[in-house]
Amino acid sequence: MDKIIQTIATELNIKYSSVENTIKLIDEGNTIPFIARYRKEVTGGLSDEILRSLGERLTYLRNLETRKQEVTKSIEEQGKLTEEIIKDLENAITLAEVEDIYRPYKQKKRTRATIAKEKGLEELANIIIEQKEGTNIEDEAKKFISEEKGVNTIEEAIQGAKDIIAENISDEPEYRKKIKSICYREAQISTKATNPDQKTNYDMYYDFIENVNKIPSHRILAINRGEKEEALKVKVEKPEEKILQVISKRVIKNNTFSNILEDTIKDSWDRLIEPSIDREIRSDLTEKAEEQAIKVFGKNAKQLLLGAPLKNLTVIGFDPAYRTGCKIAVIDDTGKLLETTTVYPTEPQNDIEGATKVLLELIEKYNVNMFAIGNGTASRESEMFVAELIKKAKHPVHYAIVSEAGASVYSASKLATEEYPDINVSLRGAISIARRLQDPLAELVKIEPKAIGVGQYQHDVNQKRLEESLTGVVEDAVNKVGVDINIATPSLLSYVSGLNKTISKNIVKYRDEHGKIKSRKELLKVPKLGKVAYEQCAGFIRIYDGENPLEVTGVHPESYEVAINLLEKLGYDVKQLINPESLKEIKEKLAKINVAKTAQELNVGEMTLQDIINELSKPGRDPREEMPKPILRQDVLKLEDLKEGMILTGTVRNVIDFGAFVDIGVKHDGLVHISEMSQGFVKNPSDVVSVGDIVKVKVIGIDQERQKVKLSMKI
């Protein structure tokens, strides 16, 4: 265990004691959000991102140790365990290295080598490997001819011995390690078109070559997809001569059997080593590329989930379409559905007059402030229609374009059926689009995280890993914001630390039967919500208009006494937190507190006290309020309106390895390439921008035919 702790501490550059304490907390069943928020003294204030990386490495290294023990036991049972093997296994730092060490001792299927061994040719193989001067191979081989064993000629005996040597060379961990090292340093990935005359999305890879150690993640995933779709042929180009020399130097001692051994080494390389090394390199590159894609997706998804809510607005959700009509849902400022309808302002009906009349009536009837327009099919035409429509309204109305990724997935889901059993599937998408503008987090947790649509190649990566990673991202986002226990849906509650789907449904059922939950402690009356779950979830639950004003804050019940004593020290009590005048005074006094001294007096950790001070200064504060608000528009921009050199304001919709896509109000998002993000060098686009950021961009290229816009942030 000490070795695992030391490895993680070194890799993540954190204290040994922090790693040791965190592992103890994880093993005790604490969740990452709970540890990150309420056990800062124990971990040394590690963030949720670092804690998740720590948890992942812990799982990997424990699996590695388990595999080492299994391999040791298996080799020992074969009576072949040596001090050298024990040492090599101890020093192995990856599962791939452990498998290379185990390779010679693995139970093999029937191979050419195992058949040769069955024929008794292992001794002949050893004679060849020993390379004793003066040995005549034909004389030696003659001794192994046996009709009974199926060795009929000298040539067959020598060939069988060569097969055994070839497999032994292939299985030698030292050779494989050296070969891999050369390949990772010097090999290249090359791609060719399967059909050069056919136009595909992979044109740039029709005659492409790049070093294995330089090729970026997004190119690996693009090449993999091109190969899967049979548009590309992919090859790993390796310095074969150099590799063969490396093996020869270690195998050939003199000229006795050099011809036979050179031939055997070449066979071992062509037939056994090269295909295996190819698979490993491709698999390794893919794994790293997938990890990067998952990381990018997670970061983007978190930003999207934490998008600023637009509160106190009545919104019309507008789900654009052509033939089947645009679906309309009116949602009040609490997210309640008021009315639905369908209008046909787009092709083929073009009933602009009828649609205008219906929507103006809805705007007037419900005092609508906003349109949330989905960005899918017919979005462009719908936006132009809405921009004209709102000019005719009697009070100011704005619109915003909302990503509708996953809306159709939600519409047809079991959850949507439970929420709106009497509403047609097609209309549920419009409800989702409107609510996404009002509260992105509450709405987006209802769909599978991978359907959120802010990554790259998310459908190509390991789906289990993606699921695990994104579940963690959603948990972190939900717990960062906190959840109003009296209005939260089961899907939102299920991401709260310590809760699961069953408990979440039980909370809603309890709420329906007993009315509003008045205190956090009341949660203990919910079936299956025991003391352990309560400890994990309590601090993330918000109770507005409850019995205790501390319960609209992130102060954990275990710290209530400290918070009360702190307020008393300043001359106030908890009830004064809900009085705006008193709160202003409390905030001023909290800002002047000597944290180190007060922490000692109250017998609490400094980090915990600082968190309590922050919470008491802004009770009920939504951290998303600090995030950039969506751009609200009243007019529309066409691609034809764009001119090179124009400066525009846009919203970052997606951040990928090679840049960011920005919504500037035309049909397709423009691309800011990584090279156009800053005057200086940018290693990673996410160091510069995040999803939801409002940025100023300059138009530097317009491709009317392909409907593409190039943008620059170098203004």
* % pLDDT > 90, the chain: 60
The residue with tokens 């507008």 is: 318
Using a pLDDT cut of 70, give the percent of the chain over it.
Answer: 99
pLDDT tens digits for 619-652? 878 888 777 777 766 666 677 778 888 888 888 8
pLDDT tens readout for residues 643-667: 888 888 888 888 988 899 988 877 7
> For 145-200, what is each residue's pLDDT tens digit?
988 899 999 999 999 999 999 999 999 998 999 999 999 999 999 999 999 888 88
d(CA 496, CA 517): 17
Token look-up 């992919």 returns 234
Read off the DSSP letter of residue 674. Answer: G
Q: Which two tokens stand for residue 645?
A: 């050199």
Token pair of 689, please? 């921008």
pLDDT tens, position by position, 250-291: 999 998 888 999 999 999 999 999 999 999 999 999 999 998
User: Contact, 286 vs 160, CB < 8 A?
Assistant: no
Residue 635 is predicted with a pLDDT of 66
Above 70 in pLDDT, residue 98? yes
Omega of the bond leading into 345 within 30 degrees of 0 (cis): no
Q: For residue 543, give both structure tokens.
A: 């109770």
Q: What dihedral angle (degrees, nearest 10) is formed by the CA atoms of 547, 549, 553, 556?
A: -60
Cα–Cα distance for residue pair 176/615, rounded to 1 Å: 57
Per-residue model confidence (pLDDT) at position 446:
86
Residue 210: what pLDDT? 95
Question: Which residues are CB-neighbours of 145 under 8 A, at least 6 positions away?
Answer: 151, 152, 153, 154, 157
Pair 315, 371: CB distance under 8 Å: yes
430: CB partners within 8 A, 6+ apart: 317, 318, 319, 327, 328, 329, 340, 374
State the pLDDT at residue 487: 85
For CA atoms 670, 671, 677, 683, the dihedral sign is positive
Between CA 664 and CA 661 the distance in angstroms is: 9
**Distance separating alpha carbons of residues 105 and 500, to the nearest angstrom:** 44
pLDDT at position 32: 95
pLDDT at 539 over 70: yes
pLDDT of residue 634: 64
What's the pLDDT at 256?
85
pLDDT at 455: 66
pTM of the model: 0.79
**What is the average per-residue pLDDT within 20-32?**
96
Q: Are 435 and 331 in contact (CB under 8 A)?
A: yes
Give me the phi and psi of 499, to 5 degrees please.
-100, 155
Q: Over range 677-697, report the average pLDDT.
A: 87
Domains and CATH numbers, the chain: 2-105 (1.10.10.650), 112-296 (1.10.3500.10), 315-438 (3.30.420.140), 554-618 (no CATH), 639-712 (2.40.50.140)
Residue pair 143/135 in contact by the 8 Å Cβ criterion? no
pLDDT at 299: 86
Does residue 457 surpass a pLDDT of 80?
Answer: no
Mean pLDDT is lowest, of 121-135, 209-223, 569-583, for 569-583
pLDDT computed for residue 576 by the predictor: 84
Q: How far is CA 351 from CA 69, 327, 344, 358, 379, in A?
A: 72, 14, 5, 11, 16
pLDDT bucket at 125, cuts 50 / 70 / 90: very high
Contact 152, 182 (CB under 8 A): no
Q: Residue 341: what pLDDT? A: 95
Taking the C-alpha atoms of residue 342 and residue 65, their distance in angstroms, rounded to an integer, is 60
What tokens does 544 get? 């507005």
pLDDT at residue 450 above 80?
A: no
Distance CA 684, CA 292 (A): 11
pLDDT score for 653? 86
Least confident of 315-319, 417-421, 554-558, 671-675: 417-421
Give the CA diameter of the chain.
Answer: 107
pLDDT in tens, 353-382: 999 999 999 999 999 999 999 887 888 888
pLDDT over 90 (residue 69): yes
Strand order in the sheet with 232-237: 207-211, 188-193, 232-237
Q: What's the mean per-residue pLDDT of the chain?
A: 90
**What local confidence, expressed as pLDDT, does residue 468 receive?**
85
Q: For position 637, what pLDDT does the model report? A: 66
Tokens of 218: 């997004």
Rounded to an integer, the average pLDDT of 544-568 is 92
Tokens describing residue 144: 């192994």
pLDDT at 636: 61
pLDDT attached to residue 433? 93
Q: Quote the pLDDT of residue 715.
A: 83
Residue with tokens 């093997």: 85
